[in-house]
Amino acid sequence: MQNLLDLSPDGLAQHFAALGEKPFRARQVSRWIHQRFVGDVDAMTDLARPLRERLARDASIVAPAVIRDTTAADGTRKWLFDAGNGNAVEAVFIPEDDRGTLCISSQAGCALDCAFCSTGKQGFNRNLTTGEIVGQLWHANRTLLRDGAPRPWVDAGRAPITNVVMMGMGEPLANYDAVVPALRLFLDDNAYGLSRRRVTLSTSGLVPWIDRLRDDCPVALAVSLHAPDDALRDRLVPINRRHPLDELMAACRRYLERAPRDFVTFEYVMLDGVNDQPSHAEALVERVADVPCKLNLIPFNPFPGSEFRTSPRERVLAFQRQLMDAGIVTTVRRTRGDDIDAACGQLAGQVQDRTKRRLSTRIPVVAR
Ligand code: SAH
Ligand code: SF4
């Protein structure tokens, strides 16, 4: 049984070629699935009955099962999806006046073990499949359409989700082979049709894979920086020991040769007394000096057992001011969906209680 959500645009074309069908059939089916969000081949009324019967027999359209669906007071909505074996992953919808953003997950757990991240604390479980990654977007669009909240762009015929950020659970570049086909579907005109600047991939800095992404499918890039120097970053983001800051900054510059935006977004989580002092801001200005960038300061979201505290608001604003004065566009992330734990770093798929596994040796390394 072929899950059609697992197939990239090329994969779908090959699948239909193997069935002896013309390429336009693949595009037609793609539009039914990824633009009209149908979950049943029978609903594809413009396909000849024999093809529909064949697809009904051999193919399926299956997104991960929803365990929980919660909406916060501010409209932020979180889906908890079953990832099997007691694991779950989350996707978060963030409504704004002019856009609908979906934050999606790429792995159940994460092996990279950043010191301040609750996903990291649960260890690595497994990579999501392309179908499970795409399924989050498919399900969110389908559900939001069904629920029919008023959104001007939906009235104009566009899908509820206009922007996708890979900032949920997991390190997307450590699941490259499943993530890239998903990105291709997000961009494809016969699927989600999003422009490359409306799709953002966030990475903790897997340098060789940043280069591959630039060549294969350059979307907007966000890099989790969190520290201006190697000593501190080694502690907060352990992958830094393998790919230190000089290497990472060089990769960002190379990425910008092909990126859909002319800047990289650096994410910087504000940890009280750890990385939020004026000296850190000063060092940060130096560190990013030759990378066209924007900075996004993220108030730390505490979770049970976390060893850090959130920087006081005044310190975050002072840090922001210092960067702005040095000419770096710096925003402070607004906290959304507080009452449903939907914020960055809180996505922990809380259905499990497992011994954490650290598989840092399994982080794939590619030849340059
Ligand atoms: N693995 C990728 C993408 C997922 S994490 C990455 O690390 O970039 C998305 C963002 O949330 C990252 O910038 C991450 O550092 C940040 N984050 C993780 N835990 C957090 C927490 N407890 N509070 C605030 N931000 C957090
Ligand atoms: Fe993994 Fe990102 Fe969390 Fe680090 S911050 S442990 S890379 S999900």
Summarised one tens digit per residue, pLDDT across range 52-80 is 999 999 999 999 999 999 999 999 999 99
Quick one: pLDDT band at residue 364, thresholds 50, 70, 90?
A: very low
Out of 144-158, 170-184, 235-249, least confident range: 144-158
308 in contact with ligand 1, CB cutoff 6 A: no
Which residues 6+ apart lie within 8 Å of 348 measured at CB?
Answer: 90, 118, 119, 121, 122, 169, 303
Distance separating alpha carbons of residues 6 and 194, to the nearest angstrom: 18
Scanning the chain, the segments in alpha helix (DSSP H) are 9-18, 23-34, 49-58, 118-121, 130-147, 152-155, 176-187, 207-216, 230-236, 245-256, 278-287, 313-325
pLDDT of residue 335: 79
Q: What average pLDDT does the segment 249-259 reach?
A: 97
* 117 ligand 2 Cβ < 6 A: yes
State the distance from the centre of ligand 1 to the C-alpha of 257, rounded, in angstroms. 25
Of all protein residues, the one whose alpha carbon is nearest to atom 4 of ligand 2 is: 114
Backbone angles phi, psi at 3, to 5 degrees: -75, 115
- pLDDT-based confidence at residue 345 (cuts at 50, 70, 90): low
The DSSP code for 334 is: P
Cα of 201 vs centre of ligand 1, distance in Å, is 12
Query: What's the pTM?
Result: 0.94
pLDDT of residue 358: 37
Q: Which of 43-52, 92-101, 149-158, 159-168 has the lowest mean pLDDT?
A: 149-158
Calculate ∠ Cα 257-223-92, nearest 5°: 120
What is the residue with the minimal CA distance to atom 2 of ligand 2? 171
pLDDT, greater one: 157 or 3: 3
Cβ–Cβ < 8 Å for 219, 183: yes
Q: pLDDT tens, 24-39?
A: 999 999 999 999 999 9
Higher per-residue pLDDT: 271 or 367: 271
Query: What average pLDDT does this structure show over 333-346?
Result: 74
Q: Read off the pLDDT of each residue in 336-341 and give the average, rounded to a whole number.
A: 78
Looking at per-residue pLDDT, the higher value among 146 and 354 belongs to 146
State mean pLDDT over 75-101: 95
pLDDT tier for residue 110 given thresholds of 50, 70 and 90: very high
pLDDT in tens, 15-24: 999 999 999 9
Ligand nearest, relative to CA of residue 123: 2
Q: Is 90 a catalytic residue?
A: yes
Would the CB of 171 count as within 6 Å of ligand 1?
yes
What pLDDT does 82 receive? 97
- Tell me the ligand closest to 172's alpha carbon: 1
C-alpha distances out from residue 205 to 63, 91, 211, 253, Å: 29, 22, 11, 13
Provide CB contacts within 8 A for 187, sequence distance 6+: 193, 194, 195, 196, 199, 217, 219
Between 70-74, 301-305, 350-354, the lowest mean confidence (pLDDT) is in: 350-354
Q: What is the mean pLDDT of the chain?
A: 92
Asked if residue 339 has pLDDT above 60, the reply is: yes
Choose the residue to mutate in 201, 213, 221, 267 for probing ligand 1, maximizing ligand atoms within 8 Å of C-beta.
267
Cβ-based burial of 307 (10 A; exposed 0-12, middle 13-18, buried ≥19): exposed
290 CA distance to ligand 2 centroid (A)?
Answer: 25
What are the tokens at 353? 């209680």
Measured in angstroms, how far is the CA atom of residue 365 from the centroid of ligand 2? 17
